[in-house]
Amino acid sequence: MNDPAHESVAAARAPASRAAIAWFFALSGLSFSNWAVRIPDISARLDLSQSQLGALLLCPVIGSLGLTLLSNYLNTRFGSRRITRVAACAIVASLVLIGLAVSPLTLGPALALFGAGMGLLNIAMNDQAATLERRYRRSIMSSFHGVFSLGGMAGSLIGGGLATLGLTPRWHLLLVAGVLMAGILISHRHLLAPPPRAERPVGALFVRPKGRVWLLGIIAAAVVFIEGSMADWSALFLTELGASRGHAALGLAVFTGTMAVGRLLGDRWLDRVGAVRSLEIGSALALAGLAFAIGAADPNAALLGFALTGIGMSTLFPCLLSLAGRNRSMSPSGAIASVAMLGYLSMLGGPPMLGFLAEAVTLHYAFIALAVAALLAIVLARPAARA
């Protein structure tokens, strides 16, 4: 039986909890983008070859995937509030270590720690967001992912500005780490407390989807395949249409920008049309945008297609995580972890596979695979939403 006094206290604390959880989403975007914009400088400082840099960039992927696989066990064992704190602190520490690295041997472990923190934070903060969403009894997940996108955009601008001013990566990342740590100290106390341990049985060491959660995971893999491929290949796609280097860079900016706007406005949309229609309409818009870009004869027309794709994609992954948190086949944290895990696997394998396909049929035609992924999401949306 629910305790009215407890519910009243929880309702009063909900805005503070929402702001705190949003901060950790912003931290994730800020951390990644501030590191990413300094990759060329760090590579030059350490005199890395392309093969060395490629091998080092696998370190955060391996760290992230490993901790994602363990996240369900850790969240149910220790609670997502504690894991969110620990993961965020690990990210901050890794930024300092990345900036201080003096060789590939010191940079590799720092990047692995960075990836581990990012992978663990991704699951823990989404578990916090899904729990709070259930308390609100309306959609709020999309806005958190919008904050993540804004954090990524802000971090890129801040990092680029500091690099232009001549600040070295060491001092840049140390400054960013200090600001992020201050935010952690201010906000961590407002994170949601886990239920008593007796009410949260410890999950399996490695989690896999069960029941219809598999369908949510397959859609997540399709969605992340599109997102990752757009990040890696959109500029080259536009270059093949005749765009200049600067013009081609607008492809990712347009795609991520429209995604950020769509996510910030997406919660009202999800409440209005529901999860099934949101998945179907969003996937259909992404399909239409990709088809328009593939059929475009010049870069400007393709940019319009990328913008439509970004709008369609904006609410898909947040909606999938919300559905995973409300599923009846698994625990919320287990379902979120398994859906995110399939997304991570797609992020690892999808964009390289698109590159191999482009080698065979040209990148322009390889983008048809992204349209097929959007079509798959449309087909599976209705049965997956009943998970």
Q: Is residue 124 part of a domain?
A: yes
2 pLDDT higher than 50 = no
Q: Is residue 207 part of a domain?
A: no
Q: Is residue 273 part of a domain?
A: yes
Alpha-carbon span 363 to 285, nearest angstrom: 21
Q: Is residue 80 part of a domain?
A: yes
Sign, Cα dihedral of 375, 234, 64, 25: negative
Which residue type sits at 351?
P
Q: Is residue 74 part of a domain?
A: yes
Q: Is residue 187 part of a domain?
A: yes
Q: Is residue 218 part of a domain?
A: yes
Structural domain span for residue 166: 4-199
Q: In terms of domains, do 191 and 218 share one? A: no
Q: In terms of domains, do 161 and 263 share one? A: no
Alpha-carbon span 242 to 260, nearest angstrom: 27
Nearest to 35 by CA among 123, 147, 110: 110
Q: In terms of domains, do 170 and 33 share one? A: yes
User: Which among 149, 171, 199 is the end of a domain?
Assistant: 199
327 torsion bin: left (phi>0), alpha (psi -120 to 50), beta (else) = beta
Nearest to 134 by CA among 3, 296, 276, 11: 11
pLDDT in tens, 257-298: 888 888 888 888 888 888 788 889 999 999 999 999 999 888
pTM for this structure? 0.76
User: Which among 168, 199, 230 is the end of a domain?
Assistant: 199
* Domain at 113, CATH number: 1.20.1250.20
User: Which among 166, 199, 232 is the end of a domain?
Assistant: 199
* 99: Cα separation from own chain's centroid: 23
- Write the DSSP assignment of 137-181 as a string of letters: TS--HHHHHHHHHHHHHHHHHHHHHHHHTT--HHHHHHHHHHHHH
If one counts every other C-beta atom within 10 angstroms of the C-beta of residue 200, the result is: 16
Q: Give the chain's domain count.
A: 2
pLDDT in tens, 102-146: 999 999 999 999 999 998 998 899 889 988 988 888 888 888 988
Contact 287, 375 (CB under 8 A): yes
